[in-house]
């Protein structure tokens, strides 16, 4: 069964992937951000979700692809990911799947992405009570955004 990562594990994973410093701070989860990555186990059951605001999606995508920060800031101001950044963010979500890897060898892979204005999936993609971790992510040279990691309670 997957487990929630620590903020330090998130920081290390993102710093390595983005090749720059990433600062992570735990924050309360007040609302579900609109950009989703839903993950499945090797059995095909949905087991985890990453929910992101536009800022984290834009900044992490731009940092990974070495796109200048002002391009990402334009997406944040517009309240929507530019198509190219959306495609790149799917790869960021794919890499984040390793945060849910379990010690029992259960493989977790990206199953679905949801970008606004697409409607959010039904409640089956809502984390179980107590099964989520809210993080403010600050990517050096780009900016801050919100990432919420959650366990769905499916086996």
* Residues 39-84: tens digit of each pLDDT: 998 888 888 999 999 999 999 999 999 999 999 999 999 999 988 9
The three-class DSSP label of residue 110 is strand
Confidence tier at 106 by pLDDT (50, 70, 90): confident
Distances (CA, A) of 7 to 12, 35, 72: 9, 20, 24
Residue with the bigger pLDDT between 146 and 34: it is 146
Q: What pLDDT does residue 93 have?
A: 97
The three-class DSSP label of residue 92 is helix
Backbone angles phi, psi at 81, to 5 degrees: -75, 130
Q: What pLDDT does residue 155 have?
A: 42
Largest CA distance in the chain: 43
% of the chain residues with pLDDT over 90: 68
Distances (CA, A) of 132 to 55, 84, 128, 137, 149: 19, 29, 7, 15, 5
Q: Determine the Cα–Cα distance for residues 147 and 152; give it in Å rounded to an integer.
A: 16
Mean pLDDT of the region 141-145: 98
Mean pLDDT of the region 105-126: 78
Q: What pLDDT does residue 129 have?
A: 65
pTM: 0.91
Q: What angle do CA 106, 107, 109 make, to 5 degrees?
A: 145
Every domain of the chain and the residues it spans? 7-151
Whether 123 shows a pLDDT value over 70: the answer reads no
Whether 126 shows a pLDDT value over 80: the answer reads no
Architecture of domain 7-151: 3-Layer(aba) Sandwich (3.40)
């Amino acid at each position: 069964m997957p487990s929630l990562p620590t903020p330090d594990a998130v920081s290390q994973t993102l710093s390595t992937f983005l090749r720059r410093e990433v600062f992570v701070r735990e924050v309360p989860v007040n609302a579900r951000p609109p950009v989703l990555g839903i993950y499945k186990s090797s059995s095909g059951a949905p087991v985890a979700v990453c929910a992101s605001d536009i800022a984290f999606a834009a900044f992490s995508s731009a940092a990974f692809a070495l796109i200048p920060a002002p391009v990402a800031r334009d997406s944040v101001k517009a309240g929507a990911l530019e198509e190219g950044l959306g495609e790149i963010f799917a790869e960021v979500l794919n890499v984040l799947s390793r945060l849910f890897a379990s010690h029992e060898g259960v493989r977790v892979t990206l199953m679905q992405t949801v970008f606004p204005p697409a409607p959010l999936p039904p409640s089956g993609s809502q984390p179980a009570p107590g099964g989520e971790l809210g993080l403010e992510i600050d990517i050096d040279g780009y900016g801050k955004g919100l990432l919420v990691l959650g366990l769905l309670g499916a086996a």
